[in-house]
């Protein structure tokens, strides 16, 4: 069972119409899903989850969809679909796409925006550890059961992200997909020789996944 990353795609009337018409469909249970396969096809390939993470930024399609005004709220597994936002800007050059997201289990938050300019899709992506201010803005401080609030209260650290070896991070990401939380994270870090990480969580991996992909070769 993955952690749920909460996403909100900020649109206008025209871009909402395009997204709903082309990329929102019903699954076999009759539920609305955000079908990333229609945006960035992966197909039925070996190491499917690994390939989806590379192309989509997450291993499954978007689920638990909720429409609020011109925005689409949805859930993804572990991390936000940042590469999908860039791909949307490539496919629909007249629109600007902005994704706002947070993951309460690992207490990180961020946004990604993309637009077509001068012949290319320009992506701006920023992710950070949640602070008390973020928790208040997101309404995550009312219950003692909220994972994000617990992380902040307990002073848990996500490590020094500048120390992470991004050349090896992609392989770590793929292995973590089927791993349990807790001690398995440290074990995977050690197995892949990621030195200099003095405090580790999956939030750091989410922050670094795109850099990891870019630095693979």
- pLDDT tens digits in sequence order for the chain, 217 residues long: 568 899 999 999 999 999 999 999 999 999 999 999 999 999 999 989 999 999 999 999 999 999 999 999 999 999 999 999 999 999 999 999 999 999 988 889 999 999 999 999 999 999 999 988 998 898 876 554 456 666 655 554 444 334 444 444 445 555 444 444 434 444 554 555 444 333 334 444 444 444 444 444 4
* Contact criterion met (CB below 8 Å) for 188 and 175: yes
Give the residue among 70, 118, 79 at the shortest CA–CA distance from 98. Answer: 70
d(CA 31, CA 65): 8
Q: Is residue 119 packed enough to be buried (19+ CB in 10 Å), middle (13-18) or exposed (0-12)?
A: exposed
Strands 4-10 and 71-77, by their bridges, are antiparallel
**Distance from chain centroid for Cα 65:** 16
Name the β-bridge partners of 108: 103, 129
CB-CB contact of 203 with 80 (8 Å): no
What are the two backbone dihedrals, phi and then psi, of residue 192, each rounded to the nearest 5 degrees?
-95, 5
């Amino acid at each position: 069972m993955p952690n749920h990353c909460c996403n909100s795609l900020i649109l206008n009337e025209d871009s909402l119409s395009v997204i709903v018409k082309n990329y929102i469909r019903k699954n076999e249970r009759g539920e609305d899903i955000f079908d990333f396969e229609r945006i960035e096809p992966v197909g039925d390939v070996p190491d499917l989850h690994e390939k989806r993470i590379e192309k989509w930024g997450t291993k499954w399609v978007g689920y638990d969809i909720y429409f609020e005004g011109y925005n689409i709220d949805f859930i993804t597994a572990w991390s936000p679909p940042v590469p999908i936002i860039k791909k949307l800007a490539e496919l629909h050059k007249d629109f600007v796409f902005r994704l706002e997201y947070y993951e309460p289990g690992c207490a990180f938050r961020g946004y990604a925006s993309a637009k077509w300019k001068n012949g290319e899709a320009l992506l701006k992506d920023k992710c950070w550890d949640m602070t008390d201010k973020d928790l208040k803005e997101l309404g995550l401080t009312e219950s003692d059961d909220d994972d994000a609030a617990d992380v902040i209260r307990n002073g848990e650290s996500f490590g020094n992200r500048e120390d992470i070896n991004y050349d090896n991070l992609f392989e770590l990401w793929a292995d973590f997909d089927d791993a349990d939380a807790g001690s398995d994270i440290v074990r995977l870090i050690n197995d892949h020789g990621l030195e200099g990480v003095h405090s580790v969580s999956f939030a750091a991996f989410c922050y670094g996944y795109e850099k990891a992909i870019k630095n693979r070769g």
